[in-house]
Structure 1
Amino acid sequence: MHWSTVLCIASAWSPLIGKAIASHGDDLYAFSDCVYQCEQVTCHNNHYYEFQWRFRNILKDEPDFEFKYYNGDWEFDSIPLPLHLRLLGWTCELNCDYQCQRIIHQMRKDNNEELYQYHGKWPFLRVYGIQELVSAIFSVGNFYVNWLGFKRVFGLMKDKKLDPRLTYANYNVLFLAVVSMMAWTFSTIFHFRDYDLTEKLDYYFAGLTVLSGFHFIASRLLGLFEPGRVYSRISLGAICVGAYACHVYRLVNDWSYTYNMQANIAVGVLQNGGLGLLVYSLYSKFYAEEQAKKASHNGIEKENIMNEPANLSFLKYTSLRRVILPSFYANSPKLYSLYPLLLSTIVMLGMSLEVFDFPPFFFDLVDAHALWHLVTIFPAYYGWFDWLVWDINENILEKAKSD
């Protein structure tokens, strides 16, 4: 499975997991009472609220009086809030909600009770107003490795080390990197502060990531990167742009996590089926070349065949430091053609963290989603873009020359 597709599917799936159990924390009486107490005391300066609780026996016969539990041990931030919180959009009410999540979470932890999510998210420890610090840091890490990929490919193009006849294909690799960087930018913003707008932008660009990956793989399989396929390129691009516009229009008018997940999975299945076909075709091609080479050496001693240098031209597009298990994958183009399968396997293993979700640990800063973002750093750093450049400028160009 192509790693960017797995990323998008997991991003689409994780909110469904959170939303499914969010009501457990939201519906706790202790949580709602805590929020009410905090708002009365800090936001509304209602100092007689405590006395209402003390004299509840006198007021219990009042038909319109609603009692809320009062806990004198609960301590809340004073108003006004610090500047760094206000700059990140924290209001008194939102701050009360956050504080009560932390208070009730710690109470349940101390009493060895089951821990719950609130509003579909775990009650992370806020750091200088940032809601999910570690996820935000790892999102920045993903942005950085995609920037390195972009910089690498752009540098090769600038130095004219990539064949100019396949400029369109090389620009598509750059486009993949740019879309990924935009997606991780909005992921970082979303983990900084969870608003309706930041959440939707995160999902819009995650969807764009998987669609751009589909466009790339489809172009590769259909031979649209080869010279002279201009109208076919335009047609496929128009289909993808139209599909994405309809997708966003559907979500803007009727937001649905279920639809978002289904749409991304559908495109992801097509994309990864295409990637599987591509890897299989490349492996088959290099395997056939090896067999043909062996057959042509029937009259030569086996020892001489084994001593012939391997075709390692693909290494000019990458560095062994950015190849996992280089002693295996750098032996031949046949083995290197399988490299995306390893990267996808790593990401799929990381995706299991989203399925087997668990409460945050390490000072309530790290959860499964944060670790998932850590895992997704590795494919982009360890040669995904280099593999794409190799495939374009060796395999596609070779086919174009032979036609």
Structure 2
Amino acid sequence: MSNIAIEFENISKQYALGSIGTGTLSRDLNRWWARMRGKEDPYLRIGEVNDRSQKATGDFVWALKDIDFKVEQGEVLGIIGKNGAGKSTLLKILSRVTSPTTGCIRARGRIASLLEVGTGFHPEMTGRENIYMNGSIMGMTKAEITRKLDEIVNFAGVEKYIDTPVKRYSSGMTVRLGFAIAAHLEPEILVVDEVLAVGDAEFQRKAIGKMQDVSKGEGRTVLFVSHNMGSMQQLCSKGVLLNNGSVSYMGTIGDTIHTYQSGIIVQNIFKDQDGDPDSLLLFDASVSSSDGEVFYNSSEIMIRFKVKVARKIPSLVIGFNLYSSWGHPLARTDYNDSNDLMTLALGIYEFVFKIPSFTLSDGDYRVVFDVAERNVKCYSTEKSSLSFSVVQDGESNFGNRFCEQVNFKSSLIRENWLSDFYEIG
């Protein structure tokens, strides 16, 4: 007996831009009749690839194009890609929210989906009534739902509001109840989109733990979409990378994240001149990882840059600030933190700063350089910045716990990460 839980076969989805339907009732009926007989859509048009960076020149676009892969039973598959890559469209087709233009999906067992906040909920019905309604849609009996009711309510943490209409729930309460229903009503396949990001940190940890139990303990299949690479690394065993509606890579979750990040890390190096060539000039900067193109918690992160000192400046500031993805300052360091130097002789200098392993938690970071004449003039601008993303090392949970503490404290302290600097010309 095959252990394949889901099989995507030549799945494509085409959308019309700016219009709905074929234009006339007779054509709509012809399209419906062709679909009923299993024939190809007679009005199918050759469309463009779904590339948001380019202006559309036609009336149709392929949100998905020729998707072919299989998911084994008990596997946790992470689906990764930029916004607009086709992730949510693929899950909607699997959940039968919409139908594919071409191809078919073969799935074994009941599918529970959590695609958007409030998916499948009737706003006028209470939380309790929505639990029974969702369970019935999945084919469960009233007795089966009643047996799971207390567990669902406790997990969602909405005991006080379980008999209140869902329309009065906050988005966080709604997604907690929705996930609890999807995860506890014993589906063979659990489909979860980015919607978990709506919940708070405590609920996200509970949800990830529950998905691990569902997949490993109960042998059920999970499809997970998220932009949080740390959660992907922690939860998934395999990954699929979508790009402009097509599968560009499929493999282990670590290799998939590696491929994804190597394509999206932008501005991790610049060679443009920034500053005043007659005074101070910042150029040729880069940020790199000891693990190659992927920045893990356990990686040593190295920041290099060059500065040209063209005239004698009594008091120099040469260093950088580290910011989180939210713009919060985390740490600052300067070339003279570990010595008493206040200035440098004329010349070109290379600076090397090393951020030790297990210093940063998973997330996005920005390095903003600060090259200035103290209290007089700043020679660096917002353009002189680098960005990189850190993912959790799957083999080390200690690193992430330690990093949360460091990130909490680092905005209050002055870090000394200078490894060396030397004159090169």
Question: TM-score normalised to the size of structure 1?
Answer: 0.24
Pick 1 or 2: higher relative contact order, CA cutoff 8 A, min separation 6.
1
Comparing both structures, which one devotes a greater share of its residues to helix?
Answer: 1
- Greater share of strand residues, 1 or 2? 2
Taking structure 2 as the reference length, what is the TM-score of the superposition?
0.23
